[in-house]
């Protein structure tokens, strides 16, 4: 038997569970049948086809089932276009009569840019509607379900609810707190550094981890870095995938002392917005505008200002890909709700090498911000830890 160290290492890695939930909330009771759950998963799969493109609307998929077979499917492609249920009913045509419709979010019951889906479902003569989660807006929650029930349609609520909530966590946060959902993502070495003492940071993690980051960008409306990251890393911040959505690339720079040449100023592939302070480096501002970069000035630039502004632009999810200084400001100002940390099993050392989160003013370990709902995964040779900061309003 070959028990060389190399093989032993491989075996150890293989026997590790790929994903471990270390502090999940109480497991939810399963709602619906296995078939219901499979159909709801199909809704989520359909909804994901519009990843990053629906804000300020949610990601929604719908499936029409008749005699155990899918007879129509649809998803909401972007704000202003019809809702998922409308596409699915259209695809099912007359088969919708007496059918069951699955949808990951409660059907709407109000006249917005499109007529209410509750009325479309009633008009189509469906027999049953299976809903993943109720509308997060407390003012309208339950209205669509009540309308369907009043019309004699059987309604089941809460199938795959956890997965439905997770897919639309940005939308839900936006509705409840009138702010976009902030995700802080960083990659660090095992000794907690995000770059070397010289500021060099490409790459901390392996290709597989970087691919996950590209997918995260495709799912977000905007990605934010600070001026230093532009000066030191010259990042592209695109999703690097054919046909995938590219987020708005946002640079927060108070000084506007930024390099004349940078990947972020090339706006053909993806748009760039620079947030700065009134009167900062006017000549450079002009140069940016000429290259098609948007510039917005604030009297005082803070993460709160940035998030308020991005909320007003209709955004749901913001990815903070900045260094530690700005990350600390963002956490302190409640602009971060979720943390996604990649940890590479390597050591770089350096007493002054930058770390993922700068000064938070906490001095006792008992004050540490403990993540909730933590998930730990092995990604190639790296580790991924994600979780939620305690809910702050
Ligand atoms: N491994 C990783 O995941 C990762 C990710 C990102 C960055 N990095 C590394 O992190 C280092 C840079 O770290 P950093 O902390 O200086 O990051 P940063 O992302 O550049 O953030 C700091 C900059 O944000 C701007 N800013 C705007 N408003 C601010 C505010 N209210 N408070 C504070 N800053 C504000 C300032 O730009 P101006 O100075 O232009 O005004 C400031 O210099 C680099 O070495 C980079 O390689 C690593
Ligand atoms: Zn609708």
Q: Which atom of ligand 1 is nearest to the CA of 358?
A: 15
Candidate of 229, 357, 382 to mutate for ligand 1, largest count of ligand atoms within 8 Å of Cβ: 229
Ligand 1 near 228 CB (within 6 A)? yes
Q: Give CB contacts under 8 A, 24+ apart, made by 150-155.
A: 151/122, 153/121, 153/122, 153/126, 153/127, 153/128, 153/129, 154/127, 154/128, 154/129, 155/128, 155/129, 155/130, 155/131
* CB distance 343 to 382 below 8 Å: yes
Please give the model's pTM, rounded to 2 decimal places: 0.93
Measured CA to CA in angstroms, residue 167 lies from 49, 102, 171, 238, 317 at distances of 12, 16, 9, 21, 11
Ligand 1 near 379 CB (within 6 A)? no
Sequential pLDDT tens for the chain (393 residues)? 343 433 333 333 333 445 555 544 556 679 999 999 999 999 999 999 999 999 999 999 999 999 999 999 999 999 999 999 999 999 999 999 999 999 999 999 988 777 899 999 999 999 999 999 999 988 889 999 999 999 999 999 999 999 999 999 999 999 999 999 999 999 999 999 999 999 999 999 999 999 999 999 999 999 999 999 999 999 999 999 888 999 999 999 999 999 999 999 999 999 999 999 999 999 999 999 999 999 999 999 999 999 999 999 999 999 999 999 999 999 999 999 999 999 999 999 999 999 999 999 999 999 999 999 999 999 999 999 999 999 864
Q: Which residues are catalytic?
A: 85
Looking at the CA of 325, name the nearest ligand.
1
End-to-end CA distance of the chain: 58
* CB distance 301 to 326 below 8 Å: no
Secondary structure letter of residue 158 according to DSSP: -
* CB distance 218 to 53 below 8 Å: no
Between the CA of 42 and the centroid of ligand 2 the distance, in Å, is 18
Looking at the CA of 205, name the nearest ligand.
1
Ligand 1 near 307 CB (within 6 A)? no
Ligand 1 near 74 CB (within 6 A)? no
- DSSP bridge pairs for 250: 224, 273
Nearest CA to ligand 1 atom 7: 323
* CB distance 319 to 215 below 8 Å: no
């Amino acid at each position: 038997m070959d028990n060389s160290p190399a093989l032993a290492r491989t075996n150890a890695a293989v026997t590790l569970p790929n994903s471990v939930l270390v502090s999940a909330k109480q497991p939810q009771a399963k709602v619906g049948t296995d078939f219901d759950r499979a159909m709801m998963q199909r809704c989520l799969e359909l909804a994901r086809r519009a990843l990053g493109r629906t804000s300020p609307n949610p990601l929604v998929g719908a499936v029409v089932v008749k005699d155990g077979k899918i007879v129509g499917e649809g998803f909401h492609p972007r704000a202003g276009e019809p809702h998922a249920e409308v596409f699915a009913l259209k695809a099912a045509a007359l088969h919708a009569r007496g059918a069951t419709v699955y949808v990951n979010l409660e059907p709407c019951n109000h006249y917005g840019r499109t007529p209410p889906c509750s009325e479309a479902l009633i008009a189509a003569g469906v027999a049953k509607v299976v809903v993943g989660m109720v509308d997060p807006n407390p003012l309208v929650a339950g209205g669509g379900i009540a309308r369907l029930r009043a019309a004699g349609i059987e309604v089941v609520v809460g199938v795959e609810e956890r997965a439905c909530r997770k897919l639309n966590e940005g939308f839900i946060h936006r509705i409840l707190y009138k702010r976009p959902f902030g995700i802080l993502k960083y990659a660090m070495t095992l000794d907690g550094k995000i770059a070397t003492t010289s500021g060099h940071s490409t790459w901390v993690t392996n290709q597989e981890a970087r691919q996950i980051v590209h997918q995260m960008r495709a799912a977000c409306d905007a990605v934010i870095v600070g001026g230093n990251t532009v000066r030191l890393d010259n990042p592209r911040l695109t999703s690097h995938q054919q046909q995938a959505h590219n987020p708005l690339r946002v640079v927060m720079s108070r000084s506007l002392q930024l390099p004349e040449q940078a990947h972020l100023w090339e706006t053909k592939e993806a748009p760039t917005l620079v947030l700065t302070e009134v009167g900062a480096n006017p000549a450079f501002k002009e140069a940016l505008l000429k290259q098609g970069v948007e510039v917005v000035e604030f009297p005082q630039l803070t993460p709160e200002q940035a998030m308020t502004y991005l909320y007003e632009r209709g955004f749901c999810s913001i990815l903070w890909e900045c260094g530690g200084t700005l990350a600390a400001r963002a956490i302190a100002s409640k602009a971060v709700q979720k943390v996604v940390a990649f940890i590479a099993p390597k050591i770089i050392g350096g007493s002054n090498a930058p770390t993922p989160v700068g000064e938070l003013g906490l001095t006792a370990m008992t004050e540490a911000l403990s993540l909730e709902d933590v998930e730990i995964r092995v990604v190639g040779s790296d580790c991924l830890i994600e979780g939620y900061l305690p809910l702050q309003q």
